[in-house]
Amino acid sequence: MDAALALFSEKGFAATRMDEVAAKAGLSKGALYLYFPDKVALLKTLVQETAGSVIGAAALMMAAHEGPVSPLLPLILGFVAEKLETSNIAAVIKLVLSEGRAHPEIGKAYLENVIGRAFPLMEGLIARGVAGGEFRAVDAGMVVRSFIAPMLLAAFWKSTFEPLGAAPLSVRALAAHHADLIVRALKP
Amino acid sequence: MDAALALFSEKGFAATRMDEVAAKAGLSKGALYLYFPDKVALLKTLVQETAGSVIGAAALMMAAHEGPVSPLLPLILGFVAEKLETSNIAAVIKLVLSEGRAHPEIGKAYLENVIGRAFPLMEGLIARGVAGGEFRAVDAGMVVRSFIAPMLLAAFWKSTFEPLGAAPLSVRALAAHHADLIVRALKP
DNA sequence: TTTTAGTGACTGACTGGTTAGTCATTAAAA
DNA sequence: TTTTAATGACTAACCAGTCAGTCACTAAAA
């Protein structure tokens, strides 16, 4: 699956040959078909296993938190940034956004299980801050999009532009700087 | 080229058949090869023609502006948001980010001509605001990424998730709301 | 101990369907 | 008539998925 992720992210799903995946994994193509019924199943498994792990941890983080919301925002972005830098989740995000429409089952699953869970949780958090007088009256939905968007940019920077020779981006630094901007912008 | 863009964005470059592009354009495949030497040339032309038009207008906007920077920020985001909503540039962005690594010539051209031009211009703008005492002392590079990222999110929302049934996103509203957040966050 | 039987992960040549790009030919315009 | 535009059948290559067979290893039987 690591081999497949690297190749899918580099060349695109359709342009990646099963022979290549097998070779990179140190197997023959036949052996691949002992573990995955077909090519799409490989993609699907890949996305589901990776996506599931992160959302769970982040949800836990938000649910467990009590008291003022402001200190939680840099923690959330820091957590995501760390995942982006130390795992291959950036490649998975690129894969889902790139191939999600061509493989609706995968795209819809991500929309429902990841975005559909994470966005409402974060919106609730922002709304809590507003209700408690900690934040100005803002549109929680819009704030969540503003809040999370730089992590999307970072994912593509790492998986598309850095391999092309672009200057490396410190995702952690961006996360910290951005969280600070948002917290300031939300002050009453 | 409209036909090609729609299909490349929907199914991915490698999975799109030249016959389909031709059919959608109301031509035969042979006729397509009268205008484009091969499939990659079609993709390349597509990206270059679209990308060039927007960066030029935005650069003009920034270069022409004098006086305080704050009022310019919502104008820039509003301009980009309007392009995202009324043209098919969202699909081009998706295409570049998805296929840029597999076709380095395209990816690098975008990195140099679009990102490499737009980012320094915007950084200069932020730096000007800081120098003039209009903004706090911030990292201009980080601010630019925070500033532009929601437009990237919007591009993928429109080209990947809305076709899968996700709730439509008002890019203009997001742009306005986000510009307001950033301007507030930059206040000394 | 040696032989026989069995297992299952793995291989790689093969097939059938698919598709980028070509080109001889036709149709329309000048 | 000549030139330009367009067609669509064709080819050569490619690749997902298959399957008959290999081989290292285990365990029961002799």
Q: What is the band of B160 on the pLDDT scale with cuts at 50, 70, 90? A: very high
Q: What is the band of A50 on the pLDDT scale with cuts at 50, 70, 90? A: confident
Interatomic separation, CA of residue A14 and C1' of nucleotide C3, rounded (Å): 51
Percent of chain A's residues with pLDDT above 90: 89
| DSSP assigned state of A66 | -
Q: What is the band of A121 on the pLDDT scale with cuts at 50, 70, 90? A: very high
pLDDT at A91: 97
Smallest Cα–C1' distance to nucleotide D9: which residue has it?
Answer: B30
Torsion, CA A28, CA A33, CA A34, CA A36, rounded to 10: 130
Spell out which residues of chain A touch residue B159, defining contact as CB-CB under 8 Å.
Answer: 101
H/E segment holding residue A104: helix A104-110
Q: Which of B102, B160, B174 sits opposite A12 (nearest CB)?
A: B102
pLDDT at B165: 97
Percent of chain B's residues with pLDDT above 70: 100
Task: Report the distance separating Cα A10 and Cα A8, nearest Å.
Answer: 5
Q: How far is CA A143 from CA A60, A97, A123, B90, B123, in A?
A: 21, 21, 8, 21, 23
Nearest to A126 by CA among A115, A117, A137: A137
CA-CA-CA-CA torsion sign (B74, B80, B84, B90): negative
Q: Tell me the two tokens of residue A142.
A: 């819009």
Q: Tell me the two tokens of residue A85.
A: 């830098």
Interatomic separation, CA of residue A135 and C1' of nucleotide C15, rounded (Å): 66
CB A173 within 8 A of CB B142: yes
Return the CATH number of the domain spanning residue range A43-186: 1.10.357.10
Any idea which of A40-54, A100-114, A115-129 has the lowest mean pLDDT?
Answer: A40-54
The CATH homologous superfamily to which domain B47-186 belongs is: Tetracycline Repressor, domain 2 (1.10.357.10)
> Which position has the higher pLDDT, B52 or A74?
A74
Taking all residues of chain A, what is their mean pLDDT, rounded to a whole number? 95
Percent of chain B's residues with pLDDT above 90: 89
A-interface mutation test, from B113, B119, B145, B147, most A Cβ less than 10 A away: B145
User: Which residues numbered 127-186 in A keep a CB inside 8 Å of some CB on B?
Assistant: 138-139, 142-143, 145-146, 148-150, 152-153, 156, 159-161, 163-166, 169, 173-174, 177-178, 180-182, 184-186
List, for residues A135-157, the tens digit of each pLDDT value: 999 999 999 999 999 999 999 99
